[in-house]
Amino acid sequence: MILFFYNCSGGVSIKTLIKNGVIVNYDSTIKGHILVENGVIKRIFSKEYEGLNNDFEELLKKSYDDLLGECEVIDAEGNFIFPGFIDAHTHPGLPEDLGFYKETDDFYTETKAALIGGTTTIVDFAEQEKGQRLIDALNKRKKRYEGKANCKYAFHVAITEVQDDLYNQLVEIKNEGVNSVKLYTTYGMKLGNDHILKVMDCCSKLNMVVLVHCEEDSIINYCKDNLNYSKQRPWQAEQTMVNTIINFSRLTDCTCYICHVSSKESAHAIKNAKEQGVKVYMETCPQYLILNSDKYSTPSAEMTKFILSPPLREKEDNEALIKACLEGITDVISTDHCAFLYKEHKEKYFKDLNKAAKGIPGIQLRVSLIYDLLVEKYGLNPKDLVKLLSYNPAKILSLEDRGYIKEGNSADIVIWEREKFKVTMDIIKEGTDYSPYEGMELTGRPKYVFINGQAIKG
Ligand SMILES: [Zn+2]
């Protein structure tokens, strides 16, 4: 992989013309050329762009021809041109945060892997420590990225403790551009229902989105000794809490966002709620569409590669969740990327799964996995791929000037080719020693990725 940046020394303006591509937004597909200048999309030349009249079309043709001599030109004939993809749920550096190892280059490595795979923005979590104000949690997390990020990044703030001046604290983070908070209903950082309601009530007033990791903790505790990992964290735990959050959303009029939906029952509950007008967004992840509990069927060290929560479910769950994507019930597909090392954090605990680190990587392959599955195999319109992986996350999280290819927006662009490739560890740059998708053959990957008009070649 060669990183190359266009020469911008001496005040010379950087101009790139991407010609002859198929420009795909969530609501349109047009054939045309894109002029990128100084990091933004300067012009789109297309007969189909915004209903131009004939005279104007001639003028565009002329200026396009003039430009050819003064630009770097990239020929995108036969390629899709997508808006830069956004991963709304990632955990770079989490193994380090949890004390698994120290002083790694996680932020550098993982943001680079994201970019190579076509993701130009990731959203991470600034987690509140006990006694800490939300704004301090945010600022502390931001510092971790300084000088290390290869792609754009934004934050949700995870509330682990409700303090008396919650409303004012939410105003403070909103003023810093954070429009979403995250709540847990299990693990040590879980909030009780009375606190969840308080957060949702405040966020409703402030027009902020509340993301929830839905697993009812009492059910997890009840099932913790089950030897089947999928049943240690059963679908009932997820669906119970999904229903609770949906009802809290009805009561508070707060917009909620259910993270990493893994089961058909939860998808069904969300579909019904949407039909009744509840303000609920649904997120799922590639692993819940592609992998299932077959991975847990033979006890072996290998199965620890697939230990995450919620766990992988059954084949019918894969099918129901794919259907939810095809029918527009799913709003966002993110990774929940969490890059533990197989050798150090997983393999040796296969006889006591509770000790194995929970989480799997996937930040680099997300777009290829989903393009291959939904567009190539299930015939999803590429416009809907853009909706799930770029436009919706930008809109839901109020990420300005992203998720849509139009004049004036940041030149975060992916030129996509329908090439087949095999997932081997030499192409994976996620900073882990395994990929849950190793060995898979996929169709579709970035040929070039532009971020603020600067290009890296795929
Ligand atoms: Zn997560």
Evaluate whether 9-82+410-419+442-457 and 87-396 have a shared fold.
Answer: no
Cα(361)–Cα(302) distance, integer angstroms: 15
Q: Which pairs from 192-198 meet CB under 8 Å and 24+ separation? A: 193/244, 193/248, 195/162, 196/245, 196/248, 197/248, 197/251, 197/252, 198/162, 198/166
Confidence class of residue 56 from pLDDT cuts 50, 70 and 90?
Answer: low
Fold classification of 87-396 is: TIM Barrel (3.20.20)
State the distance from the centre of ligand 1 to the C-alpha of 90, rounded, in angstroms.
6
Q: Are 222 and 409 in contact (CB under 8 A)?
A: no
State the distance from the centre of ligand 1 to the C-alpha of 2, rounded, in angstroms.
31
State the distance from the centre of ligand 1 to the C-alpha of 24, rounded, in angstroms.
29
Of 42-46, 204-208, 251-255, 374-378, the range with the lowest mean pLDDT is 42-46
**What single DSSP character describes residue 129?**
P
Strand partners, 30: 23
Confidence class of residue 208 from pLDDT cuts 50, 70 and 90?
Answer: very high
State the distance from the centre of ligand 1 to the C-alpha of 393, rounded, in angstroms.
15
Q: Is 9 exposed, middle or buried (0-12, 13-18, 19+ CB in 10 A)?
A: exposed
State the distance from the centre of ligand 1 to the C-alpha of 113, rounded, in angstroms.
18
State the distance from the centre of ligand 1 to the C-alpha of 49, rounded, in angstroms.
39
Mean pLDDT of 415-420: 97
Is 10 a residue whose pLDDT tops 70? no
- Report the 10 Å Cβ neighbour count for 451: 21
Q: What is the pLDDT of residue 54?
A: 61
Walk across the sheet containing 180-184 and list its strands: 85-87, 119-127, 152-158, 180-184, 209-213, 255-258, 280-284, 332-333
Q: pLDDT tens digits, residue range 37-49?
A: 999 999 999 877 6
Enter the pTM of the model. 0.94
Tell which residue, 15, 13, 31, has the closest CA to residue 23.
31
State the distance from the centre of ligand 1 to the C-alpha of 341, rounded, in angstroms.
17
Q: What is the pLDDT of residue 11?
A: 35
Domain ranges of the chain: 9-82+410-419+442-457, 87-396
Structure tokens at 181: 């908070």
Is 120 a residue whose pLDDT tops 90? yes
State the distance from the centre of ligand 1 to the C-alpha of 272, rounded, in angstroms.
25
Structure tokens at 173: 């983070």
User: The domain 9-82+410-419+442-457 is classified under which CATH number: 3.20.20.140, 1.10.10.10, 2.30.40.10, 3.40.50.300?
Assistant: 2.30.40.10
State the distance from the centre of ligand 1 to the C-alpha of 259, rounded, in angstroms.
8
Q: What is the pLDDT of residue 71?
A: 87
State the distance from the centre of ligand 1 to the C-alpha of 122, rounded, in angstroms.
13
State the distance from the centre of ligand 1 to the C-alpha of 89, rounded, in angstroms.
6
Question: Dihedral (C-alpha) 212, 217, 220, 222: value to the nearest 10 degrees?
Answer: -160
State the distance from the centre of ligand 1 to the C-alpha of 443, rounded, in angstroms.
27
State the distance from the centre of ligand 1 to the C-alpha of 319, rounded, in angstroms.
22
Is 1 a residue whose pLDDT tops 80? no
Is 81 a residue whose pLDDT tops 90? yes
State the distance from the centre of ligand 1 to the C-alpha of 336, rounded, in angstroms.
5
State the distance from the centre of ligand 1 to the C-alpha of 1, rounded, in angstroms.
28
**What single DSSP character describes residue 410?**
B
Tell which residue, 339, 343, 344, 386, has the closest CA to residue 361.
339
